[in-house]
Structure 1
Amino acid sequence: MKDFSKELNFKTSRSSGAGGQNVNKVETSVTVLWKVRESEFFNDDEKALIQNKLKNRINAEGFLFLTVSESRTQLMNKNKAIEKIIELVDKALIIPKKRRATKPSKGQMQKRLDTKKKLSEKKENRKFKY
């Protein structure tokens, strides 16, 4: 978990929604911007992985952005935004393990066939015979 918070830029704006008079005059919503390609904390492969996995959140200029307006204070929203963007990038850097194809064991296949045969016999015995 790399702390690249020094590379982050912040923009503030007025939060939308309910909140009374405070909403109309205080800029509590925080948008965090991070230029992925210019990061010094990650190598080229990691940057490519981040750009690939988070391509829906990266705009045309190459900025990864995230807006937080959960709290009533700008400072709390800023801290929450830093947490969330670091978590987002950490999740993007995880490379899932490749699935190895396996096949069921002979015993497992036989068990399945036996169960099917028993069920078939049970249903066959339910039929009315003359």
Structure 2
Amino acid sequence: MPVVTATLSIPDTELEWSFSRSSGPGGQNVNKVSSKATLFWNVAKSPSLSDVVRQRFIEAFPNKINKQGQLVLSSQRFRDQPRNVRACLEKLHDLLAEVETAPRKRKKTRPTRSATERRLSNKQAHAEKKQRRRPLRMDHGRLRDDF
């Protein structure tokens, strides 16, 4: 069952699976059946990815890729192995969908005149509020509040 997104597909031959005993619910079944699924996929050497998408993938998910360049995903959410395998494939599909298209460039915009005026008036009001908190100063027997 190949993993497919809009622009790329990954054949099953590139995916390696490992199964182990799962923690969590399941009663005595947990001690007998290897229901936890772990998916290994070599992102660094995969012929299915273009260099641009590969680089984006590695930069986006560095914590999910080990030193050998393999993506490691695991699932033990369900009590049976096939559903955990499906969950791993869905995770992989979501990760690929996230990086397959380039992020949009930000279009530079300037703040509106009213936004600038509002910011400056708020700044002035804040400064005046802080000025009012300061104690009045005596200068040659007269009160001075202009300094």
Q: TM-score of the superposition, structure 1-length normalised? A: 0.77
2:66 is the alignment partner of 1:59? yes
In the alignment, which residue of structure 1 is the partner of 2:105?
Answer: 98
Q: Is the 8 A contact 2:37 2:81 kept in 1?
A: yes
Matches of 1:29 and 1:82 in 2, distance apart?
13
Say yes or no: does 1:17 pair with 2:24: yes
Aligned to 1:34: 41
Partner Cα distance (1:109, 1:37) in 2: 48
Q: Which residue of 2 aligns with 1:72?
A: 79
Q: Unaligned stretches of 5+ in structure 2?
A: 126-147
Percent pairwise identity: 33
**Aligned position for 2:15:** 8
Q: Per the alignment, do residues 107 and 51 of structure 1 end up closer, same or farther by CA in structure 2, a change over 3 Å counting?
A: closer
* Whole-angstrom CA distance in 2 between matches of 1:95 and 1:50: 11
Larger Rg computed on CA atoms:
2
Runs of 4+ in 1 over 4 A off after TM superposition: 107-110
The answer to whether the 8 Å contact 2:36/2:84 transfers is yes
Q: CA contact under 8 A between 2:64 and 2:72: conserved in structure 1?
A: yes
- Write the distance in 1 (CA, Å) between the matches of 2:74 and 2:106: 35
Residues 2-59 of structure 1: per-residue CA shift (max 9 Å, x gap) = 3314121110000012321010110000000000122121111211111111111100
Change (3 A) 1:105 1:47: same
5+ long unaligned stretches in structure 1: 120-130
What SS does structure 1 have at the residue aligned with 2:34?
coil
**How many aligned positions are there?**
118
Amino acid at match of 2:10: F
Counterpart amino acid of residue 22 in structure 1: N
